[in-house]
Amino acid sequence: MRKVVLGWKISSLRGAKELSRILEIAERVEVLGHLAVSDQGVTQLAEIKMREGHSVDEISNLDSFEVLEQHEEDDDGILVSLLCKHPLAISAIEMSNIHIQPPYGIDAERGMELRISGLSKSIRRFLALLRMVMPPDKIKVQSIRGEE
């Protein structure tokens, strides 16, 4: 079993159209939990800190994201239920034996970080896919226990 931390710098995210667009309208999006998983995507509980002059409704204008419900708002951001249909999320759903661990997110200063865990073979397949479509700048792998 493996636990992997993946990281992307801001400069690397500029090539990913949807993620780059998020950084134009939001300072950060932090996924706090997964509420539901379906063939359409992942419904996430997310906190979004919008940039000055932008509204949370703009997130729904992106192809891969839809704000389903706005729960509350404070100085830290807006808490929403967010349907994520991004190809990265769909790929993670379709691959068995991996788990993406919240919290994770994208930040206009620090970039993006994901933590995943799962069986070694499944992690290797997911990383191979990522290296083709959106190569991470940082990959930190930790063995949790021996292969079963």
User: What tens digit of pLDDT does each residue of 76-107 get?
Assistant: 899 999 999 987 777 777 777 888 899 999 99
Report the alpha-carbon distance of residue 95 to residue 34 in Å, rounded: 16
Backbone dihedral angles phi then psi of residue 100, each to the nearest 5 degrees: -90, 125
Side chain identity at 4, as an amino acid letter? V
Q: Percent of the chain at pLDDT above 70?
A: 97
For 39, list phi and psi in degrees, rounded to 5. Answer: -65, -25
Q: 24: which 2 tokens?
A: 């134009």
Q: Residue 20: which H helix or E strand, with range?
A: helix 17-25
Separation in Å, CA 47 to CA 62, 103, 104, 111:
17, 10, 11, 16
Rounded to the nearest angstrom, the gap between the alpha carbon of residue 22 and the centroid of all alpha carbons in its chain is 12
- Identify the residue with better confidence: 72 or 129: 72
pLDDT at 7: 95
